[in-house]
Structure 1
């Protein structure tokens, strides 16, 4: 297990600077004090100051002009790398879903058992109920389980496993995109019910089209 890294001094200085810039203690266009001054203010060595300035210039907050000084250019910290990476993962997960969902739904329409249908329906109803009650986390999970239950019903074990792996990241995407809110899940409950009915009727063409619409948010 990797330990949580203690913040480096540079990161602490960077955080303090961001706070001060946000509170207008340093305004946009203002030049920061020179290195020896900053070292005194924050009580750290030169390398920590340089590193902090580097962090903030990468993030578009500061601009270092050789021989002139370091200037505040923005208050909006750009997304952290972590957020960018998780967004990239999200894009990939959504791509996997858009490639797989319609195929899986079509196969589930052809291959489902009575027990599969009961599980899909269980999560469909749960998803709707939790959306109405604004229980965000539980609702996201029920939605995920609804789609996984369809994958379970498709009759292809490998497809099901691939889908389950891809789904692990989807919860994170829901949290980021929906901000702990269930409004979009209330709106999409009907189309999810349509998907269930098309699978129940063994209409694989219709199931495929509806699943694709869900992925592309066309409802």
Structure 2
């Protein structure tokens, strides 16, 4: 399970937003027709339509059947992903610290056998790569371990927030751990304890252990 990247539609939506902000497209302007947009952005029809749908939901564009698509607002709020990317890392860690115990407790209640298999797979990879001193692979396995717990929690919004913050934290792993896996070896046991608490459907224990991991109490 790789950390997800932006879709083509999201990239097109971002490009359109940039055009609106820079007054390439003003309020009341009609966007070029689909074939022209496809050519401009080098994507297929489905990506263009999805991008327009994204911006229509945000109240930036209005689609008038048989007439065209019009810019109706420049009141563009940054996406959660963009805001987190710009945030200070201590702010990102604070968000994670508020979420971890809650997510772990919910995962203990809602996890499926398939969820457990995925969590265990990344737990084992984390251990393997740490022992082999394969730093980047170890960091990725650790992130995927926690994301798989978030996916098991049964709350789509919590999972998405956690996924986005994890992308930012992965970058700090790469810059702050200096290609070293010692701390991951040290914390493998407590991560195993977290897995077992979820396996045993013990939400209180899962929440407690998740908080200890956040506080780096190994």
Give the TM-score normalised by the residue count of structure 2: 0.60
The whole-number CA distance in structure 2 between the counterparts of 1:94 and 1:126 is 23
Question: Shift of the alpha carbon at 1:177?
Answer: 2.1
User: Shift in Å at residue 88 of structure 1?
Assistant: 6.2
State the distance in 1 between where 2:216 and 2:91 align: 16
Q: CA offset at residue 87 of structure 1?
A: 10
Partner of 2:143: 144
Structure 1 residue 89: Cα displacement: 2.2
- Measured in 2, the distance between the counterparts of 1:138 and 1:168 equals 14
Q: List structure 1 segments (4+ residues) > 2 angstroms apart after TM superposition.
A: 86-89
Match of 1:207?
206
Query: What's 1:184 paired with?
Result: 183
Question: What is the DSSP-based 3-state SS (H/G/I as helix, E as strand, rest coil) of the residue aligned with 2:217?
Answer: coil
Q: How many residue pairs are counted as aligned between the two chains?
A: 135
Distance 1:117 1:214 in 2: 19
Taking the aligned partners of 2:186 and 2:127, their CA distance within structure 1 comes to: 10
- Per the alignment, residue 168 of structure 2 pairs with 169
Q: Any unmatched runs of 5+ in structure 1? A: 2-85
- How far, CA to CA, are the matches of 1:94 and 1:87 in structure 2? 13
2:102 maps to 103
Rg larger for: 1
- Cα offset, 1:179, TM superposition: 1.0
Rounded to whole Å, the distance in 2 between the matches of 1:183 and 1:209 is 23
Using a 3 Å threshold, how does the CA distance of structure 1 residues 132 and 206 change in structure 2: closer, same or farther?
same
Q: RMSD across aligned C-alpha pairs, in angstroms?
A: 1.6
Q: How does 1:86-101 map to 2 (within 5 A)?
A: 89-101=88-100
Do the aligned partners of residues 181 and 87 (structure 1) sit closer, same or farther apart at CA in structure 2, a change above 3 Å counting?
farther
Gapped runs of 5+ residues in structure 2? 1-10, 12-84
Q: What's the TM-score once normalised by structure 1's chain length?
A: 0.60
CA distance in 2: counterparts of 1:88 and 1:114, whole angstroms: 36
Alpha-carbon deviations, 1:72-110, whole Å to 9, x = none? xxxxxxxxxxxxxx9962111110110000000000000
